[in-house]
Structure 1
Amino acid sequence: MSNTIRALLEPCPPDTGELDRRLSGRRRRFGFVPGGAAHRFPVMAALVPVATSRGGEVAYPGDPMCLYAALTLTIQRSATAPDALLAREPSLDDVLPDWGHYPDDDYRRAEHGYRTTLIADNPTTDGHVFDPRVWDDPAREQFVAELIALRPRVVLLSAVSAGHRYALEMAALAKTHSPGCVVVIGGRHADETVRYQRASHTLDLSWSSTVAVIGDGRSERVIDFVVAGDGAPGLDLLLQAVSLVLPAEAEECVDTAAVLDALPLVAGAQPDLTGAFTVVGILPDGYTAVPVQGRRLSSAELPSPYEAFSVRARFGIFTRADSSALGSRTAHMLTLDACPFKCTFCSESIQVSQRPTRFAVTETEHAAERLGQMMDWGAEAAFFDDPVFWGGNWRAINNFCRDFEALRAARGDERPFEWGAQLTVDVVLNRAKSDEVAEGLDRMARAGCSYIYIGIESMAQRVMAHVGKNLLRRNPETWVSKVREALDTIRSHGIRVGSSVLFGLDGENRETIQETIEEIGRLIDDKLLIMASPNILTYHPGTAITAQHGQDRLDYHSRKDNRPPFTYFEEAYPEVISKLLTEDDIWYIHEAAAKRWGSVRNSAAESLTEAGA
């Protein structure tokens, strides 16, 4: 195998001579003449599902924000490029992916729920995403219909690890039904399994990575490129390189090696190279990795993920707008895309994500304005998907709420609007900042926050002792007491609380399972929880608990039909769940939680409703 890592690409003077020769050659290849029209090639993006059944499994709630965020810069480049005639001098914008035009306000307000038109028939940027939420025969048939109608030159797949097996199948369908297309995969699975180490100039590949799976023959070579790291600048740069070497004939394959050679030329032409990411090109005899280290981006510098898309999700927890039995139309937003804490099981931990994209704590006004913009685009509610809202910084939380209240007051906006966010027990019980916490919860409620989601994980002290959660040692109380106090504190400010519970952590056995189910039941009895979501520990590449349990070979590539009881839990497959749980344990968790928690337990049907089904 011939595996190589190219020199790290950093901001540097462009090789304009070679780039000019390539651009001129492309004009000749396409037969361009001054005054002619630029060429736009068809492209589509797809959110890879994690579920295979509409009746039993849990689909991810909300809009596909990871994918939307990754598309922002390439869509902005394409959608804002003038449709005027070609300039006299060759330009990188002579050939562009065709993302369509931005949706207007009427479209945004009218379009919600699942997309119903073919990508080929929808001229808006919003129409260029295939988002089935469930991978079954109807979804497969629809995907093939999309490919045949559009004939995309590039197909972009965004996948979490649990969806990787379906990503490989979707890629194979793309290669079959749109011959010559380039297939690119990114998302959390890529981030978890492809890590460039700058100090040693090496590439760490998990056994579960797309690159390794194809390299050792566990999958056919149906993926051309993997993008790991900062998705928006990485994808934009890669598509510019594809555009530079794109053959004029629609059926002719793009040369992966030529794209890799074009990346330094395109990077050198950037007036401001941004983002830290790695592009891996998968070749017939190995791979070539191109690491890029540009200026760090703030979320405020990137377009809103919803600039190109309609707010489509509904979340049953929000009902003030009273617009649908499925709940309010809910936008999803991030102030921080990685958790600042170091829980052993979490794939969103800063230890895995390393370099998060975020709003600075001084950019609360910008974040408030973005939320107001989402309201204008039809959102009736919002949920902040941050692992911890504003990283648990109460000063930033207070300032954001103040800014959002001021924005609505200045606009005279009295529309019913509510929102929710995620916090942790110890962020709420920060004794050193108790006054700031109390003010923050008051301000959150006044600014429209009606719901907080907290990861309780377990109610067994012997389990929580191993988790590495943000446990403030100056709070000596038992975990059960701290959970109860945190929920009571939030409820005292008029905010509802939901929780996630995770079974299978270190120290787990049938006794601790029973203890957690009963203690959660008591919280429900005392009206401290309005929703509890049971989950099974799933090993993610790159997390501490995965390494501690010796799970270095996770099968996230074999296409296997799942079955109960695993299908009752999000992401749970027999090959990748906690080795501390037996199948009998999982049946017990499913049945005992349903009996003890009753309707407060978050069910598969409710999660599908949250997803907009």
Structure 2
Amino acid sequence: MRTTVRTPLEPKGPEAAEGGGTLTELVVRRRRMFEAHPGRARFTYPVMAALVPVATSRGGEVAYPGDPMCLYSALTLTIQRSVARLHARLPKEPSLDDVCPDWGDYPDEEYRRTANGPRSTLVADSRTTDGHVFDPRIWDEAARERFIAELRALRPKVLLLSAVSAAHRYALDMAGLAKEHAPHCVVVIGGRHADETIRYRDADGTAEFSWSSTVEVVRDGRAGQVVDFVVAGDGAPLLDLLLRAVSLTVPPGFGPTDNAAVLDALPLVAGAEETLRGSGTIVGFCPGEAVVVPVRGERLSSIELPSPYEAFSIRARFGVFAEAGSHPLGSRTAHMMTLDSCPFKCTFCSESIQVSQRPTRFAVSETEHVARRVRRLMDWGAEAAFFDDPVFWGGNWKAITEFCRDLRAQGTDLPGGGSFEWGAQLTVDVVLNRAKAEEVRTGLELMRSSGCTYIYIGIESMAESVMAHVGKNLLRRNPEAWVSKVREALTSIRGHGIRVGSSVLFGLDGECRETIEETIEEIGRLIDDELLVMASPNILTYHPGTAITAAHGQDRLDYHSRKDNRPPYSYFEEAYPEVVSRLLTEDDIWYIHKSAAERWGTVRNSAAEAAT
């Protein structure tokens, strides 16, 4: 299968829009075709989105809490357009958006306050935007059968799959099922795996795909041609652009879709807008050809995008928050982000700015807007919130303190009584910023007074010989030994009345059985001293594009073969024999699993700590 790279779609003013006559002819012709087609909903077509799971079993340890925020965020603009079209009804004159995906309508206030936990209604039976997501969390036989039932009941014209790298093998499985049980379904894959494996170089106009990317896997026959489009980059605007192109070309009755026609429609849709939004890459599969369409529109900031929860109910419960006392599995928890990529350069991290290269964020001057969003989530039933930023507000203490003041001004009393609580992620060196010691102290005080009860910190390793290679946010002006800094940071946070949880990562450069033993013991001492309330052991898995993946020569990662996992790998999130650190033997992984459980006791994170 050959690859063709088209001319990038770039911002154009209305005076520069091309193809206007062609677009007008298309929308007029399409209006006539659909008006002649019988059926009450003849100008909409069924659509479903799915969060692809990362595991086939919990293995007794896998914890995967949280709402699928990457997927929710990517759907915001296409849902916003669809709902607006639903309320406006069909315009008098033919228009670009005559035909649109049927996402239903936004949930009402009662629905938002009461709908939580796993969805129980078929997408085909739901009239809310919230009901159009399939979110199984585990890909086992029961989930597979539920997914098939969804496909048969809805017969989606479009299926949108969001996958991280560890989920990619199951995304291909789900795509194959869609083609089998809804044969005319257009399958679109996006998410972090797509972002990590597709690169377009503006300098020479060429596209580069990692060996594990969906594009390469389909191109060289390692997977069947069950995917129609892959979207990488700014998910929300690019997905909106793609679905408008699908809507422009989809036939009445929603039979087979011509992918080439969809690709040809992309510049027509882009040229119809005063401003092209979003930057990234759309890849479409045609017979014998993978067509790359770079999109170079204007980047959107977080404040320009709707809240991810605008269309969805808050369904997650997080065991670390329990002050509301509403459920044994924890408080109903909203997940938010002020920044979606990390400003630091850890060698192992797929969220690093070196890998994502496209941060979407709130400006430090927009703290009041974020606080208002949090207040709105409380009104919708959130009892807690966790900020999934790799580093909260990018580690900017001025923004952190302003946000806390703004949140206090909004009020943290819950509608049903009790107080709202929240948590965030920081780093050791952000907490120990000597140059801003007073600002840090004030920030931690304000965090606690505004309801922050929990901070999550990536400790990674307690072995100096390992941390010397990590490239973590190690401030040169703060050169103390890592073990001492970890203890000091945790002591400072606990001194402000905030609990601390941590992630520990085994398999980094310099790792051996001696450093594994050292880390397990040192973390145990932090637990003994009540500085940690939760410790999560993880095994390094290679992500496409990270520095450690390149350094270890892991350029062919098997994230496509459909294999059931097995212990001890299944005791750790995203760990499969083919992609874990080459520095760890299977015996090492068994040792980590058993020794951490024995030394850390109940403080070790497990599936019982989290709930879907």
Q: TM-score range by the shorter chain?
A: over 0.9
Check the 8 A contact 1:164/1:557 in 2, yes or no.
Answer: yes
Q: 2:115 aligned with 1:115, yes or no?
A: no
2:150 is the counterpart of 1:146: yes
Q: How far apart are 1:511 and its partner, in Å?
A: 0.3
Aligned to 1:281: 284
The 8 Å contact of residues 277 and 298 in structure 2, kept in 1 or not, is answered as yes
Q: Deviations over 1:363-419 (max 9, x none)?
A: 000000000011010000000000000000000000000000011189999741100
Q: Residues of 1 paired with 2:308 and 2:299: CA distance?
A: 18
2:357 equivalent to 1:354: yes
Report if the CA contact (8 A) 2:557-2:579 is conserved: yes
* Alignment correspondent of 1:4: 4
Cα separation, 1, equivalents of 2:86 and 2:285: 34
**Contact kept in structure 2, 1:38 and 1:93, CA below 8 Å:** no
Amino acid at match of 2:403: F
Where do residues 279-428 of structure 1 align in structure 2 (5 Å cutoff)? Answer: 279-408=282-411, 415-428=418-431
Give 1:104's aligned residue. Answer: 108
Distance in 1 of aligned mates of 2:428 and 2:204: 38
Aligned to 1:18: 22
Separation in 1, partners of 2:63, 2:560: 19
**Pair 1:567 & 2:582 matched:** no
Q: How many residues are paired up?
A: 606
Q: Equivalent of 1:472, from 456, 471, 475? A: 475
TM-score by length of 1: 0.97
Does 1:50 pair with 2:37? no
Report what 1:205 is aligned to: 209
Residue equivalent to 2:545 = 542
Q: In the alignment, what sits opposite 2:441?
A: 438
Distance 1:385 1:566 in 2: 25
1:478-489, aligned counterparts within 5 Å? 478-489=481-492
Distance 1:256 1:245 in 2: 9
Q: Which residue of 54, 74, 94 corresponds with 2:98?
A: 94
Q: CA deviation at 1:553?
A: 0.1
3-state DSSP class of the match of 1:232? Answer: helix
| Contact kept? 2:319, 2:611, Cα under 8 Å | no
How far 1:448 moved relative to its partner? Answer: 0.2
Deviation at 1:38, TM superposition (A): 6.6
Identical columns (%): 73
Structure 2 residue aligned with 1:194: 198
DSSP-derived class of the 2:398 partner: helix
Cα 1:166–1:172, aligned 2, differ >3 Å: closer, same or farther? same
Shift of 1:611: 3.5
Gaps of 5+ in 2: none
> RMSD across aligned C-alpha pairs, in angstroms?
1.5
Deviation >4 Å, runs of 4+: 82-85, 409-414
One-letter code aligned to 1:258? A
Provide, for residues 497-536 of structure 1, a one-character-per-residue CA deviation record: whole Å limited to 9, x for no partner.
0000000000000000000000000000000000000000
Which of 228, 234, 241 is residue 238 of structure 2 equivalent to?
A: 234
Question: Structure 1 pair 399/258, CA: closer, same or farther in 2 (3 Å)?
Answer: same
Tell me whether 24-33 or 140-149 shows the greater mean CA deviation.
24-33
- Structure 2: distance between partners of 1:76 and 1:188: 23
DSSP-derived class of the 2:113 partner: helix
**Residue in structure 2 matched with residue 556 of structure 1 by the alignment:** 559
Superposed CA deviations along residues 48-104 of structure 1, whole A, max 9, x for unmatched, are: 001101453514210000000000000000012244553332111210000000000
Kept in 2, the 8 Å contact 1:408–1:414? The answer is no
Q: Which amino acid in the other structure matches residue 95 of structure 1?
A: V
User: TM-score, normalised on structure 2?
Assistant: 0.97
Determine the C-alpha separation between the residues in 2 that align with 1:412 and 1:152.
38
Structure 2 Cα separation of the partners of residues 149 and 490 of structure 1: 51
CA distance, structure 2, for counterparts of residue 400 and residue 576 of structure 1: 39
Pair 1:263-2:293 in alignment? no
CA distance in 2, matches of 1:32, 1:88: 16
Give the whole-Å Cα distance in 1 for the aligned partners of 2:225 and 2:107. 36
